[in-house]
Every structure is written in C-alpha cells, then in structure tokens.
Amino acid sequence: MIGLCSAVPPAKKKRKWRSDARASPQVAKALRRLGQQIRSLRRSAGLTQETTAERAKLDYKHYQAIESGSSNVTVASLIGIAKALKVKAAELFDGV
C-alpha cells in the first residue's frame, strides 16, 4: 500500500511591493513640502482637514498622513485634493 506523504511546499519569497525611492531623503523632503503646501492652501480656503478629505473622497487619516508628509500620495489623490481646494493640481507643487 502506497501512503500519501504530506510534503510541505517550500515557503514563497515575499514580494516587496513598495519602492525604495520613498526612503530617499530627497523624496521624504519633497513629500513634507508637498504636505505643507496642501495644508497652506487648505487653511487659505478656510477648510478643515475633515471637510477637505470628504470633498477629495479620501479617508480622513490618509489625508492627515498626506499633509504630514508621511504618505507617498498618488496622482489620483492629488487631483481629488486639488478639486476639493478649488485649485489647479500644479498649485499643489508650488515651492516643492
């Protein structure tokens, strides 16, 4: 009688999905400046973070991370933020 062995398949190597570019000091600095510019535009518009996040269709915590420069923000999020602030997307990058 031939028995079935319960061989354990080899462990899969985890894929690294995040870019190493985020760790670059220049990128981190640019994200902080971008967040500062977005915060400045939001305050000039007289909006709260909650209202801006809602209008941009973003989670409030994610929006906070963008303003603090701790989130590698996507183009789609930036466009949503620009619309929420009623500015051109290019204005988000002034001084960055």
The structure tokens listed for 15 are 């894929």
Helix, coil or strand: residue 91 = helix
Structural domains in the chain, sorted by start: 24-93 (1.10.260.40)
pLDDT (tens digit, 9 = 90+) per residue, 32-56?
999 999 999 999 999 999 999 999 9
Q: Is the dihedral of CA 81, 35, 47, 91 positive or negative?
A: negative
pTM for the full predicted model: 0.77
Checking if the pLDDT of 12 tops 80, the result is no
Region 53-61 average pLDDT: 97
Q: Are 94 and 83 in contact (CB under 8 A)?
A: no
Q: Are 42 and 52 in contact (CB under 8 A)?
A: yes
The structure tokens listed for 30 are 């640019």
Mean pLDDT (the chain) is 87
